[in-house]
Amino acid sequence: MDGGDPDGGSAALVRLIDQYGEHILADFQSEYGLNLAKVIRPDSGYSPKQVLSLIQSLPPESRTVAAIRGGPEFLGWGADRYLTAALIDAVNQNTYALVSAHSKKKPKPPQPVPRPSVKESKGSKPNMFALMAKAHMAKARPKGG
Q: What pLDDT digit, counting tens, does each position of 31-90 carry?
A: 999 999 999 999 999 999 999 999 999 999 999 999 999 999 999 999 999 999 999 999
Average pLDDT, the chain: 84
pLDDT 10s digits, 25-48: 999 999 999 999 999 999 999 999
**Among candidate residues 115, 71, 19, the one with its CA nearest the CA of residue 63:** 71
pLDDT at 136: 53
pLDDT at 120: 45
What gap in Å lies between CA 114 and CA 116, rounded to an integer? 7
Tell me whether residue 41 is exposed, middle or buried, using C-beta atoms within 10 angstroms of its C-beta: 0 to 12, 13 to 18, 19 or more.
exposed
**Among candidate residues 78, 69, 64, the one with its CA nearest the CA of residue 30:** 64
Give this prediction's pTM: 0.68
Whether the predicted pLDDT of 122 surpasses 60: no
